Amino acid sequence: MCDRIRNRKLWDVSERRNFKPSLPISKMNKTVLLLGVLVVIAAGALALPTERDEWNNEIFDESRAMAVEFNATAPTVSRSEVMSRAKQWVTQKIPYCQCNGPLECCGSCPYCSTHRCDCSGYVSWCWKLPYGYTTRSLDQVSRRIDKSQLQPGDMLLNAGSHVILFGGWADSGKTTYHAYQEPGCHNSGPHYAYASVQKYPSSNYVPYRYNSIQ
């Protein structure tokens, strides 16, 4: 918007000083003129191009996610659907991307307009949430559970840091599990959605279950 304003041709001081309206500007005319200006401004705002990064990813608008209110009508999803959706990203190797510029983005993300391709956007998409929540807000649509209650489709949340989708136990002693995650751009890799067997997380990770999972 600032660039559009800076590039707009403005009258210089002399032109404004010499301008005389052909008709007296009554109160009614002033009102009509003001409404016309507001219409032009609104039309210009609507015509603004979508902001994109160097991979042509749309910049994620977090205000849209913040405006979504969840209650008893939150979308339902089955555990099999959650895991099927999780495996879809793994198969496609969807690159990690926070959709806010190149610093935290590893490639082209097809979900920047709604969810993002970071760890919490991944879980949000697997749970069929309409917009991408964050590691600080996923607990608004889920509830804490015990380790013994974990089932495929639940999540392990380190609030404000990272989230992992739980894919089931990998051993009878429940010391290792199948992890599905978007790991980030600044680790040793991979830098896309992947599945692996990992040791059960430290106390920083807390088990949660989506409120509307079936």
Task: Give me the residues of the chain with pLDDT under 70, please.
Answer: 1-73
Query: Which pLDDT score is estimated for 202?
Result: 82
Query: Which pLDDT score is estimated for 3?
Result: 37
pTM: 0.70
Note whether 180 and 192 are within 8 A (CB): no
Helices 79-92 and 119-126 cross at an angle (nearest 10°) of 130
Residue 160 backbone dihedrals phi, psi, to 5 degrees: 80, 0
Query: Which pLDDT score is estimated for 164?
Result: 98
**Which CATH number does the domain 62-210 belong to among 3.40.50.1110, 3.40.640.10, 3.90.1720.10, 3.30.870.10?**
3.90.1720.10
Note whether 118 and 104 are within 8 A (CB): yes
Each domain of the chain, given as residue ranges in start order, spans: 2-46, 62-210
Query: Which pLDDT score is estimated for 68?
Result: 52
Note whether 109 and 55 are within 8 A (CB): yes
First to last CA, the chain: 45
Q: Is 185 helix (H, G, I), strand (E, B) or coil?
A: coil
Query: Which pLDDT score is estimated for 73?
Result: 54
Residue in 145, 115, 141, 163 with CA at minimum distance from that of residue 207: 145
Query: Which pLDDT score is estimated for 95?
Result: 95
